[in-house]
Amino acid sequence: MKELTVEATIGSIPVITEFVDEQLEQFGCPMKAQAQIDIAIDELFSNIVHYAYHPGTGPATVRVEVVEEPLSVVITFIDQGVPYDPLAKADPDVTLSADERDIGGLGIYIVKKNMNEITYEYKDGRNILRIRKEL
C-alpha cells in the first residue's frame, strides 16, 4: 500500500494522477483501465476540492492498494472536510438531452459505470471514498 497526502486543490490533481499511475504501471495495468481510473481521480478529487473544505482548503490523502483474487486496484480518497456522500444523489437520466437534465451528477455516474465497486463512509470525522477496478 502506498499513500500520498496533498492539499485539496485543483492543482493537486496532476500530482495525484501521476502518483497513482506510477503504482498502476508496476502491475502492468491495461491502458484502458488506467484511463478510466485517471478520469475517476479527476472527478472524485474535484469533488473533495469543491465540497469538503469549500471555500477554504485542507489535506486530502489518496491511498493505492493492489489486491489479488481478482487482481484489482483499490484507491481510497480520505479528507477531513464536511461530510459529503457523492453516491447519495440519484443517477442522472441519461436518456434525456443535456438541456433537459439537471446540472451535476454526470461525473460520478461515469465513475460508477467504469469502476467495479465504489463505496463511501463518513467515519471518525473523515470522508472515506473507495473505488475498486479489476485489472
Q: What is the pLDDT of residues 71-89, one digit of tens each?
A: 899 999 999 999 999 888 7
Residue 48: give the domain boundaries. 2-134
- What is the total count of domains within the chain? 1
CATH number at residue 100: 3.30.565.10
Contact predicate 79/60, CB 8 Å: yes
Query: What gap in Å lies between CA 37 and CA 17, rounded to an integer?
Result: 9
Please tell me the pTM assigned to this model. 0.90
DSSP summary character for residue 50: I
pLDDT at 42 (0 to 100): 96
Q: Of the ranges 32-41, 53-62, 100-109, 123-132, which one carries the lowest mean pLDDT score? A: 100-109
Beta strands in the chain (DSSP E): 2-7, 59-67, 72-79, 117-123, 126-134
> DSSP per residue over the chain, as a string?
-EEEEEESSGGGHHHHHHHHHHHHHHTT--HHHHHHHHHHHHHHHHHIIIIISTTS--EEEEEEEEETTTTEEEEEEEE-SS---TTSSPPP-TTS-TTTSPSS-HHHHHHHHHSSEEEEEEETTEEEEEEEEE-
Q: What is the pLDDT of residues 59-73, one digit of tens each?
A: 999 999 999 888 899
